[in-house]
Structure 1
Amino acid sequence: MSIEFIESEMRFGPFQEENCFRIEQSGLYRRIQDGLKIPEFVLLRSQPGDIASVWIVEAKTSVPREGERLNQYMGEIREKLTNAIQIIFAGRLLRHPEAIHEFPRALQEFDLQAAGFKCVLVINGAPKQYMAPLQSALAKEMGTIVKTLGLDPDSVAVINDEQARNYRLIV
């Protein structure tokens, strides 16, 4: 069964239900949410014969372009994406008992050791010329988690709705 949903005025999907975890809607998040920022969803993507990749997706309708507001904004995005990674790891380690029931099947079974991770910020309506500086800002902000977890240097991405469509994240 496939699912679609609207976040930040974009229709995400269709995704196979067993590959998509809407963290914000989960009982696990509701139980631990006090003071915890979280992104929209986690999506397990893979091609036949390929290594699975865990996409952690945050959606926005706008973003400040420079200065202190941009730094604060990117700090909040980093916090959300990092929290999601930690929830995935904690769930797979059974630190949260409800994860076994709430994580979709694919998220429970993927090879955690081999999987890639992709932290994605999707900004609806953002002009293409803003993407490179925003990409640099988020990559810098996410640098410590990328290093400590040994993630691929291109595991952080800032894209607009047009690019999200090309990645088949939105319709």
Structure 2
Amino acid sequence: MKIITESEMNFGKFDEENLFHIEDSKIYKDLGAGIKTVEFILKYSENSILFFEAKKSCPNAANQYESEEKEQKFEEYYSSITEKFVASLQIYLATIMEKYPDTSEVGSELRTVDSMKEIQLKFILVVKNAKDITWLAGPLAELKARLLQVRKIWGVEMVVLNEELAREYKLTC
């Protein structure tokens, strides 16, 4: 069983057979600079695979245009997260298609997917300091719009949680 600490949150305890700690993996490191990934990938249930990105905070869309600096930070934040989700999906798919010489870091339950048709892929952003659950709708809408193409092609579901909701789903401990 493994606990992953990210953005002052403890994710887990996860069975390593269901886990790909992509951010710490040799596969990712061997790809070299210029590629961003999520923290980890988890086979959550028989037919769902989750891609996790954790952040302490999140810029507020309501005040993104208050200054050039806020606008730039907003764009950088969401561009980075979008890039991480897409690259992580590609690395994961390349892994299960055996494009890398050693995939032993990827939990066996994630490596042995028989049919992607039955699998629900979910991109999950967990924002630690988001207190108001209704506020999460803003970041969710932003990410859904930016990830529209990959969501359509792969049927990916987008989810934004705070630490409290992540705990309710038994994702944090």
One-letter amino acid matched to 1:88: Y
Deviation at 1:61, TM superposition (A): 0.3
How far residue 134 of structure 1 moved from its aligned partner, in angstroms, is 1.0
TM-score by length of 1: 0.89
Please tell me whether the aligned partners of residues 121 and 157 of structure 1 are also in contact (alpha carbons under 8 angstroms): yes
CA offset digits 1:64-106 (Å, max 9, x no partner)? 112233233111101001111101111111112222x221100
Determine the C-alpha separation between the residues in 1 that align with 2:75 and 2:151: 18
- Give 1:126's aligned residue: 130
Deviations 1:29-78 (A, max 9, x none): 110031000110000011xxxx4211000000011112233233111101
Q: Which moved more, 1:84-93 or 1:64-73?
A: 64-73
Give the Cα separation in 2 of the matches to 1:27 and 1:170.
Answer: 25
The unaligned stretches of length 5 or more in structure 2 are 65-70
Write out the 4+ residue segments of structure 1 that deviate beyond 2 Å after TM superposition: 66-72, 110-113
CA distance in 1, matches of 2:2, 2:74: 33
Count of matched residue positions in the alignment of Structure 1 and Structure 2: 162
Residue 140 of structure 2, aligned match among 123, 135, 138: 135
Aligned equivalent of 1:60, options 55, 58, 67:
55
Tell whether the 8 Å contact from 2:48 to 2:122 is kept in structure 1 after alignment. yes
What percent identity do the matched residue pairs reach? 33
RMSD, aligned α-carbons? 1.3
Partner letter of residue 39 of structure 1?
Answer: V
Q: What amino acid is aligned across from residue 14 of structure 2 in structure 1?
A: F
Deviation for aligned residue 1:127: 2.0
Secondary structure, aligned partner of 2:79: helix
Instruction: Answer yes or no: is the 8 Å Cα contact 1:40–1:57 preserved in 2.
Output: yes
Compute the TM-score of the two structures, normalised by the length of structure 2. 0.88
